C-alpha cells in the first residue's frame, strides 16, 4: 500500500533524467558567463547549449488561456519547452520570489506539462538558483 509520501516521491521522479540534462546545460552556461547579465543573454546561450547537446526545444512558446470554450491569446510566453516534456523559465533577478514560482506552476497547469524548472542565473552558485516543480 502506497502512502502519500511515496506517491509524492514517485511524482517528483518524473522526467528526472531530462531535468538533469537541462540543469547540466544551465551549469555550463553559468560557468561560462557568471551572474549579472540580462535574462535574454542566458536564454540565447541556453538555446545554443541545448542545441549542442542535441536536446530538442522550442523557445518563446505562446500559452493561450482557455476560458469558457474559447482560447484567448493574452501574451503569455514560456521561455523554453524542452523536448515537449518540461518547461524552463529563466530569470536573472536578485532572488526568486513566490510570484516566479506561481508563474511556473500556472504555466505547468495551462500547458498540461508536468515538470518545470525555474532557473535564476543571477546567483554566485547556480544550484542555489534552481527550483524544480512537478504537478
Query: Digits of tens for pLDDT over the chain (135 positions)?
Result: 444 454 445 556 788 899 999 999 999 999 999 999 999 999 999 999 999 999 999 999 999 888 898 888 887 899 999 999 999 999 999 999 999 999 999 999 999 999 999 999 999 999 999 999 999
Instruction: Let me know if 3 is exposed, middle or buried by CB neighbors in 10 A (0-12, 13-18, 19+).
Output: exposed
Q: For 115, left (φ over 0), alpha (ψ -120 to 50), or beta?
A: beta
Structural domains counted in the chain: 1
CB 85 within 8 A of CB 75: no
Q: Which domain holds residue 13?
A: 4-134
Quote the pLDDT of residue 6.
Answer: 47
Quote the pLDDT of residue 4.
Answer: 46
Confidence (pTM): 0.86
CB 35 within 8 A of CB 122: yes
Amino acid at each position: 500500500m502506497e502512502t502519500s509520501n511515496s506517491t509524492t516521491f514517485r511524482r517528483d521522479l518524473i522526467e528526472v533524467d531530462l531535468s538533469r540534462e537541462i540543469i547540466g546545460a544551465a551549469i555550463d552556461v553559468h560557468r561560462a558567463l557568471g551572474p549579472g547579465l540580462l535574462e535574454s543573454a542566458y536564454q540565447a546561450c541556453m538555446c545554443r547549449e541545448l542545441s549542442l547537446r542535441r536536446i530538442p526545444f522550442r523557445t518563446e512558446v505562446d500559452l493561450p488561456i482557455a476560458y469558457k470554450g474559447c482560447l484567448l491569446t493574452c501574451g503569455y510566453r514560456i521561455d523554453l519547452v524542452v523536448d515537449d516534456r518540461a518547461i524552463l523559465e529563466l530569470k536573472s533577478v536578485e532572488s526568486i520570489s513566490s510570484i516566479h514560482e506561481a508563474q511556473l506552476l500556472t504555466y505547468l497547469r495551462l500547458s498540461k506539462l508536468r515538470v518545470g524548472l525555474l532557473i535564476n542565473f543571477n546567483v554566485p552558485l547556480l544550484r542555489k538558483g534552481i527550483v524544480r516543480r512537478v504537478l
